[in-house]
Structure 1
């Protein structure tokens, strides 16, 4: 199981999310704890890199880094257009 950590910028972005986005985001964090590699490569030209993106809710996108040796997922950005 991985531990989900948040970058300070991601924390600010989460604070600005509408209420309807919080439950899907929490579900994504629960998924990332057990299946951190379930997202899509951030850079399709480098599909084995540890920086990934994962959608959540209707319009959300999380960008994160998987740190397997530390058993961590470091969320760097949360987008909700």
Structure 2
């Protein structure tokens, strides 16, 4: 398992998402703790990079960094359009 760490900005963004986003966001957290590499590379020209994005719910997007050696996932941004 990976430890999920929330950036301060991501925490602030999470506090502003609508209630309908909370369930899908919780599911995403579980996924990031078990399979963080399931996301898409933030930079398509570098598909092996450790900065990834993952959608959640109908309109959510999370951006995060996988620190493989530390077994950590650092969530840096959470957006709800």
State the TM-score, normalizing by the size of structure 1: 0.99
Q: Does residue 67 in structure 1 map to residue 81 in structure 2? A: no
**RMSD over aligned Cα atoms:** 0.4
Secondary structure of the equivalent of 2:76?
strand
Structure 1's unaligned 5+ residue stretches are: none
Measured in 2, the distance between the counterparts of 1:11 and 1:34 equals 20
Structure 2's unaligned 5+ residue stretches are: none
Aligned pairs, number: 81
Measured in 1, the distance between the counterparts of 2:32 and 2:62 equals 11
Runs of 4+ deviating beyond 3 Å: none
Aligned counterpart, 1:26: 26
State the TM-score, normalizing by the size of structure 2: 0.99
